[in-house]
């Protein structure tokens, strides 16, 4: 394995049929790709299968593919494969309430899911997050569920880091207001 090599160097080695380059990329990106893909598929086992197949396709197409940024390529391909899987199942992607979240995968930092510990509050925050526009919801989930950095989100979505920063700031601010409104409306009943 080549843990010290850059993604670009590993991509070059892939073109030269170096299976250790693929193994290094696999070890580097498998877990984050599975977590990312599971946001869409709602099933971690399915996400693992999609990502394993993705790496097999990368190996099979190593001679023909022109990949400038392997990380971006992998995340975009994972998202596309997850959406294809959902299309085959004919299930909508836009409902976040059906996503089962394994709390052990969440970071130990303060986030809305940790702060709101009761099941009722948990369902309430999912309902409120579901009211956010799709782009804001996606960036919020990538940041707080997948624990991706703003640079990683920027690369995957093909937008600037500044756009990710401002969208995340606006989304969290809006989420706080929506949650405050929700709490006021439910406490008045």
CA distance 170 to 67: 33
Query: In this predicted model, which residue has the larger pLDDT, 184 or 156?
Result: 156
CA distance 168 to 74: 23
C-alpha dihedral (141, 145, 150, 154), degrees to nearest 10: -50
pLDDT digits (tens, 9 = 90+) for 70-100: 998 999 899 989 988 888 876 444 444 555 5
CA distance 166 to 83: 27
pLDDT digits (tens, 9 = 90+) for 34-60: 988 888 888 889 999 999 999 999 998
CA distance 184 to 179: 9
Q: What is the pTM of this model?
A: 0.50
């Amino acid at each position: 394995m080549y843990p010290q090599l850059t993604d670009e160097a590993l991509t070059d080695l892939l073109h030269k049929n170096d299976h250790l380059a693929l193994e290094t990329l696999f070890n580097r990106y498998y877990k984050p790709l599975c977590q990312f893909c599971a946001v869409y598929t709602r099933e971690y086992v399915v996400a693992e299968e999609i990502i394993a197949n993705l790496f097999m396709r990368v190996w099979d197409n190593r001679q023909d593919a022109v990949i400038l940024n392997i990380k971006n390529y992998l995340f975009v391909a994972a998202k596309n494969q997850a959406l294809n899987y959902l299309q085959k199942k004919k299930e909508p992607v836009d409902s976040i309430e059906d996503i089962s979240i394994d709390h052990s995968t969440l970071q130990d930092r303060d986030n809305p899911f940790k702060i709101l510990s009761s099941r009722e509050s948990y369902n309430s925050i999912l309902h409120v997050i579901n009211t956010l526009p799709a782009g804001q919801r996606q960036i919020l989930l990538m940041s707080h569920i997948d624990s991706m950095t703003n640079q990683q989100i920027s690369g995957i979505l093909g937008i600037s880091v500044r756009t990710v920063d401002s969208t995340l700031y606006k989304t969290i601010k809006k989420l706080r207001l929506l949650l405050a409104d929700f709490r006021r409306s439910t406490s008045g009943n």
